[in-house]
Amino acid sequence: MASIDVESVLLKLTDREKVSLLAGIDFWHTKSLPQHGIPSLRLSDGPNGVRGTKFFNGVPAACFPCGTALASTFDKELLSTAGRLMGSEAKAKGAHVLLGPTINMQRGPLGGRGFESFSEDPVLAGLGAAALINGIQEEDIVATLKHFVCNDQEHERNKVDSIVTERALREIYLLPFQLAIRDSKPKAIMTSYNKVNGLHVAENPKFLKDILRGEWGWKGLIMSDWGRTYSTSEAINAGLDLEMPGPSRWRGPAAVLAAATNKLRPRALDDCTREVLNLVNECAKSGIPENAPETTRNTPETAALLRRLAAESIVLLKNGGNILPLEKEKKTLVIGPNAITSTFCGGGSAALRPYYAVTPLEGITSKIGDENVTFTIGAYSHKELPDIGPQLSSLPDGSLKGVAFVAYNESPAVKDRQSVDTLKFETASMMFVDYKNPRITSDLWYADIEGFLAADRDGEYEIGVCVYGAAQVFVNNKIVLDLTEIQRQGSAFLGCGSAEEKALVPMKKGEIYHIRVEFVSAPASKLSPRGVVFGGGAVRIGGAWKINPEEEILKAAALAKEFDQVILCIGLNMDWESEGFDRPDMTLPAYLNKLTTAVAAANTSTAVVLQSSTPVEMPWLSDVSALIHAWYGGNEAGNSIADVLFGDVNPSGKLSLSFPIKNEDNPAFLNFRSEGGRVLYGEDVYIGYRWYEMLKRPVNFPFGHGLSYTTFQFSELHIENGDAILKVSIKVSNTGVVDGAQVVQVYVSQDEPGIRRPVKELKGFSKVFLKRGEEQVVKIEIPLKYACSYFDERMEQWVCEKGGYKVFVSDSSRIEAQSCCLQGAFEVGKTYWWSGL
């Protein structure tokens, strides 16, 4: 793919050709004009991996830890390395443009896509994203910063009006974008679904023209989020360069007519087309040809980096009695639903088919041996029944694990119908967004999905299905579920799917059960989709043995008394945290709190492994001695958890979010959903730790918190204010007995601000690795105007006020008398206002 002379090509294009370049041709590709040397470009979802072009039957990929996990490394160098791996993964998938990272702010703990985003703090989000982007773009892959701006909830996300003060916009919601643009210059930006203060961002010239291109001087392509271009003339005039996906709903003949009748501002069509052509030249640097084949790069080096990323994101929250690290030689009891599931990512467009996925139980047994490990479930954590595919075999003899998929043009009522496609899958969760087969002759088509379950016990087996289309479920040719005429709206499949319907099937140990689902594609759906509408349809088949949770909890607690060390794996998964819906509350799934309390009481040497991408309530916190937070860890989640539990990795992660005690404590509690078509950002600039500190409200764990298996000491703080740079240096000493890493966090507060400001705010950070007994001077430089300023709404500029400022250097946002907390001060000699970067 060759570069082009942008201005020369632009002169040759007709208006119709220009318009054709301003929208995708399908879900992932832009328009080519070979006669002008313009190739088609491929875009692919991040942000936690590179899916490629397929939701259905995709080529396996590296799955990275989720966004809140990556931010919790507080390690810009490591994030740049992760970005380079993402760039390499994009090349393997033939993708020129990666749709990530996501840096929307965590107003509260309930956001459905919270796992994609980085943090509640704009500086951590902005600097972390910049590091990741720099790595991606070092590989000549275009990174896409998203979603610009205030796309912070899923409830009515495409129509909600986010009502935000200008100060909060600047200091909280725009700032991470501003910092990332300043430090990494991403080549593309994706607009958000929502409105801000009355107008969709995708057609708002204030954000796209005045701030992005004007004030910040950013150069690059602006694209819509998928399906969220809302107009023709307004969007083009505002500077929305590319409508995705295709085929276009807005940029066909209507845009040509708008250009011919002066509905478009002068040069608007040329401006947008120029950005598409500039993007072509940026993508040409990668050397990726048009329509490149999709491949994998599942190498030992990839696995090693993913394992390191996941391990360094894990946060040791509590370690009473130094229970952790555990001893490899001791018999170990593992309890909990998250032990046998690899919770590698959240749900929605960020999900992908991983190269592999290691469960915590697999990681633990691999480290200390099967003979040293006993497992019991204790309770379930699923919201929808677990994917039945891995439990089935596509042949009655138990060989060939998974399910058979057979597609047809005719319904099962047609005698002797002929199949048009036959595939095998390990999963029974399928989205047919991009399923194409030339032998399928209509949008309405049919498929049988079937497998065989070998019952390993007597009991009731629960089968469930949710569908976008229609489905009937048969067990041994007897219908047990029918979702053809009556369907309830659910949240599956980006909001298009039905709620899960379930049936109980009595089974006997040793018998084989044939399970078959007759699926009908999307046109058969009885629902009105609430989310991103796509063709093909979708189906998810789940299954699990019915258990008595009270009995299982008693069993787990009794077993816990018999072991010297216990690992309890609990948490959420993509059932609970996903694009398309927000969490209703902060609670764990039913019975997990009761399980945790019972096991902790039975054995005080219990280490709890908690997996979620956002905070959960912990009513049992005072009962447990040891607790680690492991987020959603990607392919290597299970191995990284085992590495930390048994001390092969000294934990060094720091919380990228505050963990409140209860949902009612969080700053967005009264304002986190659409009410009458709008959401009021009533907490203003006080999100996250800013809120808890201002109200002196206690939290379970503060922002930036994270313990270690060693100890550290800070000393010799020096602060220098000169040449528009605030320079902070501090000596960090590893005073413990093992090697480890510490994060130096720099917070700044103003002594006498002109308006009310947060108690303090994070302005810089640095991670340092030290061998035991080693010490090192850490230097952090912060532009003075970023360290001191707030946004003056009257002047419509940032203001850096004359006066005194305090610097707090700590290992978390909680400032208290300890070995890792020092305080200093500096002065600003005069007041000045500024704009731009």
Asked which of 493, 523, 546 is the last residue of a domain, the reply is 546
Domain that holds residue 451: 382-546
Tell whether 312 is covered by a domain. Answer: no
Asked which of 252, 268, 284 is the last residue of a domain, the reply is 284
Clarify whether residues 400 and 522 are in a common domain: yes
pLDDT, average across residues 330-357: 94
Q: Where are the beta strands (DSSP E) in 751-802?
A: 761-770, 775-783, 790-792, 797-800
- Which one of 121, 140, 152, 225 is the catalytic residue? 225
Clarify whether residues 393 and 542 are in a common domain: yes
Asked which of 233, 266, 284 is the last residue of a domain, the reply is 284
pLDDT digits (tens, 9 = 90+) for 671-726: 999 999 999 999 999 999 999 999 999 999 999 999 999 999 999 999 999 889 99
pLDDT value of position 603: 97
Question: Which residue reads 């219990």 in tokens?
Answer: 606
Q: How confident is the model at residue 816 (pLDDT cuts 50, 70, 90)?
A: confident
Bridge partners, residue 608, by sequence: 568, 627
Tell whether 180 is covered by a domain. Answer: no
pLDDT value of position 185: 98
Tell whether 505 is covered by a domain. Answer: yes
Here the tokens at position 339 are 């032990």
Chain mean pLDDT for the chain: 96
Domain harbouring 810, CATH code: 2.60.40.10
The answer to whether residues 627 and 320 touch, using CB atoms and an 8 Å cutoff, is no
421 is catalytic: no
pLDDT, average across residues 141-159: 96
Clarify whether residues 389 and 280 are in a common domain: no
Phi, psi of 278 (to 5 degrees): -65, -40
Clarify whether residues 265 and 413 are in a common domain: no
Apex 407 CA angle, 405 and 410, nearest 5: 145
Here the tokens at position 542 are 């789940």
H or E element in which residue 470 lies? strand 470-475
Clarify whether residues 259 and 396 are in a common domain: no
Clarify whether residues 401 and 541 are in a common domain: yes
The answer to whether residues 63 and 633 touch, using CB atoms and an 8 Å cutoff, is no
- pTM of whole model > 0.85? yes
Q: In what order do the strands lie in the sheet with 512-520?
A: 419-425, 403-408, 446-454, 512-520, 470-475, 478-483
Smallest CA-to-CA distance from 18 within 4, 44, 38, 3 is with 38
Clarify whether residues 277 and 394 are in a common domain: no
Smallest CA-to-CA distance from 93 within 145, 139, 147 is with 139
Clarify whether residues 508 and 395 are in a common domain: yes
Domain harbouring 441, CATH code: 2.60.120.260
Clarify whether residues 392 and 510 are in a common domain: yes
Q: How confident is the model at residue 529 (pLDDT cuts 50, 70, 90)?
A: confident
Here the tokens at position 212 are 């992005």
Clarify whether residues 525 and 397 are in a common domain: yes
Per the document, the length of the chain is 837
Tell whether 513 is covered by a domain. Answer: yes
The answer to whether residues 144 and 225 touch, using CB atoms and an 8 Å cutoff, is no
Tell whether 116 is covered by a domain. Answer: no
Q: How confident is the model at residue 531 (pLDDT cuts 50, 70, 90)?
A: low
pLDDT value of position 238: 98
Tell whether 561 is covered by a domain. Answer: no
Q: How confident is the model at residue 163 (pLDDT cuts 50, 70, 90)?
A: very high
Secondary structure of residue 395 in the 3-state scheme: coil
Domain harbouring 260, CATH code: 3.20.20.300
pLDDT value of position 774: 98
Tell whether 29 is covered by a domain. Answer: yes
pLDDT value of position 533: 77
Q: Which is it for the CA torsion 527, 532, 536, 539, positive or negative?
A: negative
Number of domains in the chain: 3
Percentage helix, strand, coil, to 5, in the chain? Answer: 25, 30, 45
Tell whether 455 is covered by a domain. Answer: yes
pLDDT digits (tens, 9 = 90+) for 456-469: 999 999 999 999 99
Which amino acid is present at 33?
L
Q: 43: alpha, beta or left, given left = phi > 0 and alpha = psi -120 to 50?
A: beta
pLDDT value of position 702: 98
Task: Give CA–CA dist 254/308, Å, rounded.
Answer: 51
Question: Which residue reads 């250009």 in tokens?
Answer: 259
Clarify whether residues 408 and 514 are in a common domain: yes
pLDDT value of position 52: 94
Inter-CA distances, 689 with 163, 698, 703, Å: 21, 10, 6
Task: Give CA–CA dist 616/633, Å, rounded.
Answer: 17
pLDDT digits (tens, 9 = 90+) for 196-247: 999 999 999 999 999 999 999 999 999 999 999 999 999 999 999 999 999 9
Q: How confident is the model at residue 670 (pLDDT cuts 50, 70, 90)?
A: very high
Number of helices (H), then strands (E), belonging to the chain: the values are 18, 37
Clarify whether residues 267 and 390 are in a common domain: no
